[in-house]
Amino acid sequence: NAGVTQTPKFQVLKTGQSMTLQCAQDMNHEYMSWYRQDPGMGLRLIHYSVGAGITDQGEVPNGYNVSRSTTEDFPLRLLSAAPSQTSVYFCASRKGGRETQYFGPGTRLLVL
Amino acid sequence: GENVEQHPSTLSVQEGDSAVIKCTYSDSASNYFPWYKQELGKRPQLIIDIRSNVGEKKDQRIAVTLNKTAKHFSLHITETQPEDSAVYFCAAKAGTDKLIFGTGTRLQVFP
């Protein structure tokens, strides 16, 4: 199993550009989440999904969209990037009925 | 919503000493409390967790205690080693999958 994978590893965007951060897991996990990590602020939940076709907002959802068309994939979309979205983004997943959450390797995003 | 406070933000200890990191949470309905270790440039890794129906859990040199009345939980690392140096995050789960994290503690263990 590859576990939780994320692409790209690093991305530079200009203000106003759009992009999609990819996240995939091959563990048949129902639950998937997106977090951003900023210095001194820990990890903050952006959006999460409890299964295909179901998504909900976390603590900091503004500026981000998600969809969950399959169990395996949970992409995060930035429609119009802003410098405030410069951060490290982590995707995570867990199996229903279990608490252990597995994180992907992260995507470092720089918005100029 | 849930809020998790974590202290201290930095902690320096001598190798072999103990380290304690404390967290408080606001939502009395929270029922799951994991601790994650994150090394520089790496992803967070779960090191120990506790559920609300348990007061203490131990795994070799690490232990977690939970005081539901006070809404406090703590991570205890005994006999610290240089490889314990990392950033540690506590978290509390509120709702279906809302894991709310503390702001992290940078632990440095000096040989």
CA separation for the pair A104, B44 (Å, rounded): 9
Q: What is the pLDDT of residue B94?
A: 77
Residues B1-57 have pLDDT tens digits of: 789 999 999 999 999 999 999 999 999 999 999 999 999 999 999 999 999 888 999
Indicate whether A62 pLDDT > 80. Answer: yes
Q: What is the pLDDT of residue B46?
A: 95
Q: What is the pLDDT of residue A1?
A: 73
Task: Give the best residue of B6, B21, B36, B43 to mutate against chain A (max A CB count within 10 A).
Answer: B43
Phi, psi of B45 (to 5 degrees): -125, 130
Residues A12-58 have pLDDT tens digits of: 999 999 999 999 999 999 999 999 999 877 899 999 999 999 999 99
Are residues B87 and B58 in contact, defined by beta-carbon separation less than 8 angstroms? no
| A and B: number of Cβ contacts within 8 A | 54
- How large is the average pLDDT for residues B63-92? 97
Q: What is the pLDDT of residue A2?
A: 80
Q: Which of A48, A50, A103 sits opposite B43 (nearest CB)?
A: A103
Separation of CA B52 from chain center = 15
Contact B101 A44 (CB under 8 A): yes
> Please, what's the b/e burial string for B15-51 (b: 16 or more CB within 10 A of its CB; e: otherwise)?
eeeebbbbbbbebeebeebbbbbbeeeebbeebbbbe
Separation of CA A13 from chain center = 17
Indicate whether B73 pLDDT > 80. Answer: yes
Partnered with residue B52 across adjacent β-strands are none
Contact B98 A105 (CB under 8 A): no
Q: What is the pLDDT of residue B96?
A: 67
Cis check for the bond before B44: say yes or no (omega within 30 of 0). no
Q: What is the pLDDT of residue A7?
A: 97
Are residues B80 and B15 in contact, defined by beta-carbon separation less than 8 angstroms? yes
Contact A42 B6 (CB under 8 A): yes
Indicate whether B92 pLDDT > 90. Answer: yes
Residue carrying the six token digits 């348990």:
B54
Cα end-to-end distance, chain A, whole Å: 36
